[in-house]
A and B are shown apart, each in its own frame.
Chain A
Amino acid sequence: MHMQTTTGNISGLAKFKPAFNVALYKTEVDVVGNHLSGLLLIKKMPDSSTRMVFSNEMGLKFFDFEFTTDGNFKVYFIMKKMNKKPVIKTLRKDFELILMEHLDTTAASVRINNGLIYYVFPEAKGYNYYITDSTGDNLVSMERASKRKTVVQAIMKNYINGTPDTIGISHKTFNFTIGLKRIER
């Protein structure tokens, strides 16, 4: 991908950082041919960390995660069947992509490609991209990529008081999508 470097302000991204005070999402997950559904409760805790608890409609808990503002992560609970390192790692990275906490601006750059503005954040083994339209007013998508290709694509749409009511995460290298639709409690 040819990208022109441009002088752009990373701070243009701040308005897209989701504000989750307490939000409940109806959740659909499709993973390698299996369908899972439930409710994801996202809450900003008094210590500023973000908790995510995913349970099915009948109350059966799948996982309970904590994301701290300094980029740390804790598993409070995960259902036995999901308790595998690669699963936890994937979920952690997917949610960190959309939480936009702890974005390291020191090595970040802003580029333009095909009329879209790319905010590029180098990661340990690749890049996270936050992509807006040319006006910078709309977050078109977010991506996690390896050095060679896109691994995950995500969207956050329809922000109401800073909280997106629609979130989608879609993996490109294997069949795994998460769809979140906010519901009133």
Chain B
Amino acid sequence: MRKVVIVLLGMVLGISLKAQYAGYSPVSDLAKFKTDFSAATKKIVAIKSDFVQEKNLSMLSEKIISKGKFWFKRESMVRMEYNQPYQYLMILNKDKIFIKDGQKENKISAKSNKLFQQINRIMIDCMQGTALDNPDFKTRIFENKTNSLIELTPQTKGLKEMFKSINIIVDSKDFSVISIEMLELSNDNTLIRFTNKELNAEIPDSLFTIL
């Protein structure tokens, strides 16, 4: 009888883990994943892509969709340019953040704002492959036939109040980022999908210059 209960419990637990991310199951060899991930992401020195951002407001049954272009270059340089349905530019360059919203420009030093610094860090970690080493998060990794899902659960106060988790989906072959999903404490989420990716294309530093 006890054996039956244990087996049943095991099935229930197994099912509940699987149901969490439909189609995904926990990675069997975590150490191997981390080694492969680290090796593959070190080879990525630059990324150029398009992106589609979908903000889902579940209670309102509404989505806000925006589109733009994305660039990443080692070390710690990100340029995100929204062009639909509004113009908005964000540049991360080491510890500096530059925002151009229509006509208005704003330079922020991430050093002066802890929360900004952490969010800044997440974006760069996703691209640079250091997402698994960030001590501000607890990490769980799942996989399906083609992708891996890295679930980052915030451990620090500020981020915990904003996000339930941040899920990064990477291609299992080259570990490049397919999407980043930020799940809020409510049922709302923001999903950024990267398409038309060019890995290691030549990207001038001037795209990331903050004067």
Question: Which residues of A pack against B, CB within 8 Å?
Answer: 22, 24, 26, 28, 35, 37, 39, 41, 43, 45, 51, 53, 55, 57-61, 64, 76-77, 80, 183-185
Q: Which residues of B contact A76 (CB under 8 A)?
A: 59, 186
Query: Are B186 and A77 neighbours in the complex by a CB distance under 8 Å?
Result: yes
Query: Are B85 and A184 neighbours in the complex by a CB distance under 8 Å?
Result: yes
If over half of A's interface residues share one DSSP class (helix, strand or loop), that class is named, otherwise mixed; here it is strand
Query: Are B82 and A57 neighbours in the complex by a CB distance under 8 Å?
Result: yes
| A76 to B88 Cα, complex, angstroms | 27
Q: Is B1 an interface residue (CB 8 A)?
A: no
Q: Taking A183-B85, A184-B85, A185-B85 as contacts, is the C-beta distance between A53 and B162 under 8 angstroms?
A: no
Q: Which residues of B contact A183 (CB under 8 A)?
A: 85-86
Interface residues on B, range: 20 to 34
Query: Are A57 and B66 neighbours in the complex by a CB distance under 8 Å?
Result: yes
Q: List 10 A-B contacts (CB under 8 A).
A: A37-B104, A39-B86, A57-B88, A57-B90, A59-B182, A60-B162, A64-B186, A80-B161, A183-B85, A183-B86
Chain A, Cβ-Cβ closest to B106: A35
| Cβ contact of A22, chosen from B62, B82, B85, cutoff 8 A | B62
| A60 to B165 Cα, complex, angstroms | 14
Within 8 A of A (CB), among B33-89: 53, 55, 57, 59-60, 62, 64-66, 80, 82, 85-86, 88
Q: Is B202 an interface residue (CB 8 A)?
A: no
Query: Are A185 and B64 neighbours in the complex by a CB distance under 8 Å?
Result: yes
Chain B, Cβ-Cβ closest to A45: B60
| A24 to B101 Cα, complex, angstroms | 16
| A183 to B60 Cα, complex, angstroms | 18
| Cβ contact of A53, chosen from B60, B66, B85, B88, cutoff 8 A | B60
Q: Taking A58-B53, A61-B184, A61-B188 as contacts, is the C-beta distance between A26 and B60 under 8 angstroms?
A: no
Smallest CB separation, B123 vs chain A (Å): 9
Q: Is B172 an interface residue (CB 8 A)?
A: no
Query: Are B104 and A28 neighbours in the complex by a CB distance under 8 Å?
Result: yes
Smallest CB separation, B5 vs chain A (Å): 42
| Cβ contact of A28, chosen from B60, B66, B80, B101, cutoff 8 A | B101
| A12 to B124 Cα, complex, angstroms | 56
| A28 to B87 Cα, complex, angstroms | 13
Smallest CB separation, A159 vs chain B (Å): 20
| A77 to B64 Cα, complex, angstroms | 18
Q: Which residues of B contact A64 (CB under 8 A)?
A: 59, 186
Query: Are B64 and A41 neighbours in the complex by a CB distance under 8 Å?
Result: yes
Chain B, Cβ-Cβ closest to A185: B85
Smallest CB separation, B172 vs chain A (Å): 26
Query: Are A59 and B190 neighbours in the complex by a CB distance under 8 Å?
Result: yes
Query: Are B53 and A59 neighbours in the complex by a CB distance under 8 Å?
Result: yes
Query: Are B184 and A58 neighbours in the complex by a CB distance under 8 Å?
Result: no
| A51 to B186 Cα, complex, angstroms | 15
Query: Are A43 and B85 neighbours in the complex by a CB distance under 8 Å?
Result: no
Chain A, Cβ-Cβ closest to B56: A59
Smallest CB separation, B159 vs chain A (Å): 12
Query: Are A43 and B60 neighbours in the complex by a CB distance under 8 Å?
Result: yes
Chain B, Cβ-Cβ closest to A42: B60
